[in-house]
Amino acid sequence: MAQNTSHGRNARLFSRLRSTCHQAPPHVGPVPPPRPLPRLPSGSRRAGLAAAVPQPESWGAAPTSRPFRAAWSRVKPAARASPGPCRVKECHMSAFVPKVSMQISGYMDECQLLHFPCVSCDHSIWAVYVLETYHPGAVIRILACSANPYSPNPPAEVRWEILWSERPTKVNASQARQFKPCIKQINFPTNLIRLEVNSSLLDYYTELDAVVLHGVKDKPVLSLKTSLIDMNDIEDDAYEEKNGCGMDNLNKKFSSAVLREGPNNGYFDKLPYELIQLILNHLTLPDLCRLAQTCKLLSQHCCDPLQYIHLNLQPYWAKLNDTSLEFLQARCTLVQWLNLSWTGNRGFISVTGFSRFLKVCGSELVRLELSCSHFLNETCLEVISEMCPNLQALNLSSCDKLPPQAFNHISKLCSLKRLVLYRTKVEQTALLSILNFCSELQHLSLGSCVMIEDYDVIASMIGAKCKKLRTLDLWRCKNITENGIAELASGCPLLEELDLGWCPTLQSSTGCFTRLARQLPNLQKLFLTANRSVCDTDIEELACNCTRLQQLDILGTRMVSPASLRKLLESCKDLSLLDVSFCSQIDNRAVLELNASFPKVFIKKSFTQ
């Protein structure tokens, strides 16, 4: 059984995601998790003819993680032609996206959507099976796109249709399963399927082994017994028209022109203005649009800029466009937190529309989430740097189409405290400039930034300029050495969270991990994923010096014994997560014994071993 070893860091991701999904709006920076959720690379089984999921490094992703992993296998065409639908030869993944979605009080459950893979294929498809190998139950929504990603001339109008949707559920059985939901019939074939994933109820990260797509080369001739127009589509469209669910309708209903004259306001004018505002704060954005039609009093409240201080537009990514931003513009003059993650792809939002919106609404912005927003270009970052002088948090994770020179504009945002550049094309020169001018940084994510030539130089600059740094993500930094770690440890004594997962150039024999333990006593989360050189000496140093440790990931090491882990657990009273998956000296019996002695600690050992 081949093992996919290209995966790293999920513990921290899910810890943060769980917190983000179930708590009030977080402060700038990571939120402590109510329950730890680890990560691990498992050996996944191949099942059936499947359009497979590629290696994680080819996906777009969230700023701090790999939310689920997947095994890659190519699909081979069927040996013989058979009547009926045939399975497509091959499919590709694109845009495995975002991590953190901002949880904003009063917004719909879709705010908790965490990440998505998009599966494209050569031929149109009509059915979907998802092979969930590891901790199933995370898929909560499946969508189909009317646009053909292979077409040289994309259509002017792109439609996303929900095929299946359900709230997050906890699946008791952890065994692999073939998830075959009853999907809605649609009146168009599709080449692009999107799965949306929420792992907040799982004990561990999920793994999708493959996605099986059933399709045909040409659209089949419908029988006379088959309705040419699906009545469900008509009902859904009628419902949207009636209730104003479509984004265009919502935009129009914000206009005062649709208000009807009427003296009766339901005695709402007897309530204090602030109380009505508090009540309306619990409504979703579509509900505010609908309520604005009822009477002038409630319209005034629904259009009050105070209702839009925290605005999360990520759940509406499929329909948000320039017109939407234009209609919201007058109501967002006081917006402080804005989440536009996942939005604007395929031309829905233009550079002009985004720039016009920020020029009106950017002056009060404190936090801006733009994860996997592929409409961004250098002009957009220039506008952000000029129009958002108060910005403290900027998330550009997986914006891999931004040109390297665009990142130079970030250095103008001197008030930044949180910066996420995960999986971007930021280059060393631009990053050095950012670190030099943004000395207030407390949270920095540089994971999987492949354009950086020398991470030791970056680590040295971080140690010299970012004295207030508390969390640092260096996941998959290919060339950082013990020299960079020494500069980092001596210059950032306040560090509480450090991710060095999948950094192959770090070796325990150089003393780099010992130095970290001795010079960073405030460490609460340390991820040394897939570093096979971590040994008992390193664990004992952590036990002696980092007594505030809460999470430790040493997945994949061969040199740590149960005895050193017991010392760690005895010394670190706050430890809540210990991931020892694929640690050859730690067998299931040792894990059971440690669990019995330390029942409050979640000790994770892969069940596939």
- Does residue 102 carry a pLDDT above 60? no
Strand pairing category for 91-94 and 118-134: antiparallel
Q: Tokens for 241?
A: 């028209």
Mean pLDDT throughout 165-180? 78
| pLDDT (mean) for 515-537 | 97
Of the candidate ranges 28-32, 249-253, 545-549, the one whose mean pLDDT is the lowest: 28-32
pLDDT tens for 211-256 read 887 766 655 544 444 433 343 443 444 444 445 555 566 555 555 4
- The pLDDT of residue 210 is 83
pLDDT of residue 289: 87
- Residue-level pLDDT at 71: 30
pTM of the model: 0.75
Q: Where do runs of H (alpha helix) occur along 364-481?
A: 378-387, 428-437, 455-465
Percent pLDDT > 70 in the chain is 71
> In this structure, are residues 134 and 42 in contact, taking their beta carbons and an 8 Å threshold?
yes
User: What pLDDT score does 201 carry?
Assistant: 82
Q: Which residues contact 271 (CB under 8 A, 6 or more apart)?
A: none
Task: Report whether CATH 3.40.50.2300 matches the domain 507-513+523-609.
Answer: no
Mean of the pLDDT values across residues 91-113?
A: 32
Of the pLDDT bands very low, low, confident and very high (cuts 50, 70, 90), residue 607 is: low
Element containing residue 11 per DSSP (H, E): helix 11-22
Q: State yes or no: pLDDT of 400 exceeds 60.
A: yes
Cβ atoms within 10 Å, residue 155: 11
Q: What average pLDDT does this structure show over 519-548?
A: 98
Mean pLDDT computed over every residue of the chain: 77
Reply yes or no on whether the pLDDT at 453 is more than 80: yes
Query: Given a cut of 50, is residue 564 above it in pLDDT?
Result: yes
Hey, how many other C-beta atoms are within 10 angstroms of the C-beta on 173? Answer: 8
Over residues 97-111, mean pLDDT: 30
CA distance 392 to 35: 27
Q: What is the pLDDT at residue 216?
A: 64
Which position has the higher pLDDT, 553 or 129?
553
Per-residue pLDDT at 140:
87
Q: Between residues 137 and 121, which one has the greater pLDDT?
A: 137
Task: Give the whole-angstrom CA distance, residue 194 versus residue 142.
Answer: 6
pLDDT at 348 over 50: yes
Q: Which residue has the higher pLDDT, 441 or 400?
A: 441
**How many DSSP H helices and E strands does the chain contain?**
16, 22
Token pair, residue 211, equals: 């996605």
More confident residue, 290 or 131: 290
Task: List Cβ neighbours of 550 (8 Å cut-off, separation of 6 or more).
Answer: 32, 36, 524, 525, 572, 574, 575, 576, 577
Count other C-beta atoms under 10 Å from residue 205's C-beta.
29
Length of the chain: 609
**What pLDDT score was predicted for residue 136?**
83
Tens of pLDDT, residue by residue over 261-312, are: 545 666 777 889 889 999 998 999 999 989 998 888 889 999 999 999 999 9
**Collapsing DSSP states into helix, strand and coil, what is residue 23?**
coil
What is the per-residue burial (b if ≥16 Cβ within 10 Å, else e) of 117-142? bbbbbebbbbebbbbbbbbbbbbbbb
Residue 324 token pair: 């939407």
pLDDT computed for residue 98 by the predictor: 28
pLDDT digits (tens, 9 = 90+) for 34-72: 333 333 333 332 222 233 333 333 333 333 333 333 332
Confidence bin at 78 (pLDDT 50/70/90): very low
- Tokens 């440790």 belong to residue: 549
What residues does CATH 3.80.10.10 cover in the chain? 507-513+523-609
Q: For 483-517, give one letter per residue: b (16+ CB within 10 A) or e.
A: ebbbbbbebbeebbbbbbbbbeebebebbbbbbbb
pLDDT category, 177, cuts 50, 70, 90? Answer: confident
Q: What percent of the chain has pLDDT over 90?
A: 50
